[in-house]
Structure 1
């Protein structure tokens, strides 16, 4: 019984961190907002201990920060921070894409399924579902690369910028409408195993909204 408790506690911490991360991405918790631990623990249904551990986990990911006399607050990023995050993502995601193995038929079918569901979510303007499906689409492709450490860092950077990206999904409908078509081009590059073409189409997709504003710098 006692041997299972550390594992259970760790699982509860991971679940709590995922729930809080989701609240940040969905902008229920806003940048710079103080985290009220008692209220948050009740909201996500955990005790204070796993909540504190979850906040420490998110602090290590730079999603929250600890301030003297305030406690934990949601991290706030300015334009320079976001530019650096996006620059690192561009470099590291390029490395992942250049090292992908040929996808299986089942993996291609899964990418098509996700993209079909993404179109439905876009039509319904369901931002939470859009963000989740878009993440699943790109992370499935990143899984094709053997570079585990690079992939882990890309996941961290993606999470840092995802709340910013979620706000963008709400604000640039004329660019968002191109996402499904661009994903189809990505799938075709994978189907033909055209790695150079894959890198090019993903880079164009990533910065597709740049001409509209800084908010549109990374659509993926």
Structure 2
């Protein structure tokens, strides 16, 4: 019978007893992280009692948190069997990444060229990304890669598109570990898409910026389809 366990023993993430905290949202956030890291694998049953014990709270906010995650599509609810981590799907990944591609390209078409200080910041992030790749720190790479993209997209005045892109990023988080492995592959590292994006920004070359972005998206999506095909 399944229960909540991480791949290596870790202390329970007990939530603090503070007035005004949105416990369902916080439990949903912490559970989402466990799913995105692969600690809770696709098909894993999420028992309310186990989560309540893990976070040190009652089952009521846990149940609400699971409903939130089910609405996002991250988990599935079977009325007769309970809540389960949703399976990875090549069809879902294709649609989500394609939608992101459309909106993110729109943001890049409207970016305002960065200042010298911003370029220095981007280059600093590139150096740290490479260090994380060399150290084999996949989780750290994923978080820092998002920070780089977030800073680049912030150059666009189209904040509505940016908010939607952030929402879609959360939905693709379950696939990002696989995407990180693809991006980190030596064959793909030769292209160094992130460095080329920063180069295009520094040279104020919008054509190169968009072409580099499309190349990077194609590498990730094609790689994801291959990996997911072996799992379905």
Q: So what's the TM-score if we normalise by structure 2?
A: 0.77
Q: Give 5+ residue unaligned stretches, structure 2.
A: 1-17
Partner of 1:145: 156
User: Runs of 4 or more off by more than 6 Å in structure 1?
Assistant: none
SS at match of 2:219: coil
Of 36, 40, 44, 2:51 maps to: 40
Q: So what's the TM-score if we normalise by structure 1?
A: 0.81
Partner of 2:189: 177
| Aligned CA-pair RMSD | 2.6
Which deviates more, 85-94 or 60-69?
A: 60-69
Deviation at 1:48, TM superposition (A): 3.5
CA distance in 1, matches of 2:55, 2:178: 23
Q: How big is each residue's C-alpha offset from its partner over 1:108-149, in whole Å with a ceiling of 9 and x where there is no partner? A: 222222221111111111111111111111121112222222
CA distance in 1, matches of 2:161, 2:71: 17
Distance 1:168 1:99, change over 3 A: closer
Q: Does 1:71 align with 2:66?
A: no
Partner of 2:21: 9
Partner of 2:12: none
CA distance in 1, matches of 2:77, 2:90: 21
Q: Check the 8 A contact 1:97/1:145 in 2, yes or no.
A: yes
Partner of 1:87: 98
CA distance in 2, matches of 1:21, 1:162: 9
Distance 1:211 1:17, change over 3 A: closer
Partner of 2:144: 133
CA distance in 1, matches of 2:37, 2:50: 18
SS at match of 2:42: coil
**Pairs aligned (count):** 210
CA distance in 2, matches of 1:99, 1:169: 27
SS at match of 1:40: helix
Which deviates more, 75-84 or 122-131?
A: 75-84
Q: Check the 8 A contact 1:169/1:176 in 2, yes or no.
A: no
Deviation at 1:195, TM superposition (A): 2.2
Deviation at 1:215, TM superposition (A): 4.1
The structure with the largest alpha-carbon Rg is 2
